[in-house]
Amino acid sequence: MVIDIHTHTFPDALAETTIPKLEQMSHTKSFLSGKGSDLMASMQKAGIDYSVVLPVATAPKQVLRINDSSAAINEKFQETGIFSLGCMHPDFADYKQELARVAELGLKGIKLHPVYQGVDFDDIRTLRVLDRAAELGLIVLTHSGLDVGFPGVVHVTPAMVRRAIAQVGSVTLILAHMGGWRCWDEAEELLCDTKVYLDTSYSLGMLHPLGDGFYSKEQLPMMQEEQFMRMVHSFGVERFLFGTDSPWGGQVECVRQMEQLPLTSEERAAILGGNAERLLHLSELRGM
């Protein structure tokens, strides 16, 4: 079974304006249109059973509407294989009640994006969200490290994650992009003895540049395969979850990348889907 734990879709009309805007910001090219139908076609091509959509609330006023549309996405899960987590913004005043609603809606967890939300991961506003999520048994998946769309802006480093988990209860935390995009040495050094999960999205291989000459050749490579393999073995393979960041990564390309890594077949199966299934129980949901 293959589960892509890190994807993004937008309502059709929004996709048409949002994707070009994000392409310009990041100087990278999207692999897809950002529409759900396009993600389904891509899953079919890549042999991906389920994709998990991660919605980002860039302002508190978006939270309710996004959680409603996440629940609507999940109503079609039987046909689409696309499952959406919920969202939260650290400045959302009624976070306690809204997180309870997220749990009631069966969204299983939330996505945080400290860079887009402008709040540090060890800020008290984030900590209270993590605490409440832990209390409700919600998973928290957060962007981590730098963001290709915001050069130089860091609101979530491995050191901040360490400080945060020292303060909150036993929250199930997934750090995107192998623990910290372009902070990989720090992630390797500081996160090994924690219980956090890491998703593999947007980490291996190269940036997918827009072709506007913004990036030099030296800026394109991301994490080295040696470091990826070293982390899998020092952290433990059960802590890694396959993700693509689709549409910013190609699902076909990312599955191929996993197939080419020097993993055992058990390790590969765990990363590609076994670990995520243990966390999310998506097959059970589909069987219902």
Does 188 bind Zn ion (CB under 5 A)? Our answer is: no
Residues 24, 149 contacting (CB under 8 angstroms): no
Residues 243, 5 contacting (CB under 8 angstroms): yes
CA 285 centroid distance within chain: 20
Which CB, 113 or 132, lies closer to Zn ion? 113
Residue at 87: amino acid letter: C
Which CB, 85 or 282, lies closer to Zn ion? 85
Binding-site size, Zn ion (CB under 5 A): 1
Give start and end residues of each alpha helix (H) in the chain. Answer: 12-26, 36-46, 63-75, 77-80, 95-104, 114-117, 124-136, 158-167, 184-190, 225-235, 251-260, 265-269, 275-280, 282-287
Q: Residue 61 and residue 48: Cα distance in Å, rounded?
A: 33
Q: Residue 178 and residue 202: Cα distance in Å, rounded?
A: 8
Q: How far is the CB of 265 from Zn ion (least distance, A)?
A: 28
Which CB, 2 or 53, lies closer to Zn ion? 53
Which CB, 83 or 267, lies closer to Zn ion? 83
Does 4 bind Zn ion (CB under 5 A)? Our answer is: no
Residue at 267: amino acid letter: E
Does 245 bind Zn ion (CB under 5 A)? Our answer is: yes
Q: How far is the CB of 144 from Zn ion (least distance, A)?
A: 10
Q: How far is the CB of 4 from Zn ion (least distance, A)?
A: 11
Which CB, 131 or 184, lies closer to Zn ion? 184
Stretch of 93-101, 125-133, 145-153, 240-248 contacting Zn ion, by CB under 5 A: 240-248
Chain residues binding Zn ion by CB under 5 A are 245
